[in-house]
Amino acid sequence: MLRPASSREDVGHSVLARRNFFSYMSKDQLQTRLQIRHYSSNSSQENCRTLYHGRVPEYLHFHQETSVETQDAVSSSFVVLRDFVTEEEEETLLREVEPHLKRLHYEHDHWDDAIHGFRETERSKWGKASSKILARLQEYAFPNQGEKLALMHILDLAKTGVIKPHVDSIRFCGNTICGLCLLSDAVMRLVNVEDKTQVVDIMLWRRSLYLMKDAARYNYTHEVLGEKESYFGSVPVPRERRISIMCRNYPRKEDAT
């Protein structure tokens, strides 16, 4: 099920059709995904491991019933880099995306029910200053630059908006999703698709970059908590309007068909 192409610059590898509520994923595909327990090694995967070092990173909060396996899997496949961009760089990016976003209306009934209170667009061409910032993001997330999708996805979530649990479609993006968080802190929740007792909350600070790969990307749904549920452990995380700029890589050939 594809979204109409009207707001895309390039329909070839648009990720606006990326969300997946398991109905789009055959049981075999899902099984294959769930069996991925050992991840191929490349630099950004190594980044997750290097930062992890067997310690619990400050951006992860494991719910009470999470097993050691879950803790290990998520710690090794999800990383948040605090203050990835400066306040000035945040302003540069906002100046570039705001004029376009302002022309769109916030939507409340998403075509696949994944998001409420949002507007979104995609962009492949950026001004000089923004390109420099985004190149840094891409170099970190996609050391093999050829694998990244040219279109970046920009999602503007209203203060009252919410992203419901979903897994991004394997037909439209590969094993890596990275997102730059602007304007507001937020809490992302991961829930294991096979065992809903396995829940991990992730603190996404304003101006941080997150990298979700492999196990976190395929074996867990992700969601962004709405205003009322927005807590990291027992600490409330006030939600404001939030803009995320996301970059993904190409789907694997066998998943793209």
Residues 114-143 that bind ligand AKG (CB under 6 A): none
Instruction: Based on the shown chain and the rule CB under 6 A, indicate whether residue 207 belongs to the binding site for ligand AKG.
Output: no
CA distances 198 to 201, 205, 239, Å, are 10, 23, 24
Q: Which residue is nearest to ligand AKG (CB)?
A: 244
Residue with tokens 């992890």, as numbered in its chain: 52
19 versus 148: smaller Cβ distance to ligand AKG = 19
Q: How far is residue 172's CA from residue 257's CA, in Å, rounded to a whole number? A: 10
Q: How far is CA 111 from the centre of its chain?
A: 19
126 versus 220: smaller Cβ distance to ligand AKG = 220
96 versus 223: smaller Cβ distance to ligand AKG = 223
CB of 157 to ligand AKG, least distance (A): 6
Residue count of the chain, please give it.
257
Q: Is there a contact between 65 and 198 (Cβ–Cβ < 8 Å)?
A: yes
Q: How far is residue 254's CA from residue 257's CA, in Å, rounded to a whole number? A: 6
17 versus 48: smaller Cβ distance to ligand AKG = 17
193 versus 224: smaller Cβ distance to ligand AKG = 224
Letters for 154-193 (x = contact with ligand AKG by CB under 6 A, - = none) are: -x-------x----x----------x--------------
Residue 39: phi and psi, rounded to 5, are: -100, 145
CB of 243 to ligand AKG, least distance (A): 8
168 token code pair: 């991004």
136 token code pair: 């840094």
CB of 212 to ligand AKG, least distance (A): 9
Residue 232: phi and psi, rounded to 5, are: -115, 105
30 versus 187: smaller Cβ distance to ligand AKG = 187
CB of 17 to ligand AKG, least distance (A): 11
The radius of gyration of the chain from alpha carbons, rounded to an integer in Å, stands at: 17
Instruction: Based on the shown chain and the rule CB under 6 A, indicate whether residue 222 belongs to the binding site for ligand AKG.
Output: yes
End-to-end Cα separation, the chain, in angstroms: 13
Letters for 19-58 (x = contact with ligand AKG by CB under 6 A, - = none) are: x---------------------------------------
Among residues 198, 196, 173, 187, which one has the least CA distance to residue 233?
A: 187
Residues that bind ligand AKG (CB under 6 A): 19, 155, 163, 168, 179, 222, 224, 244
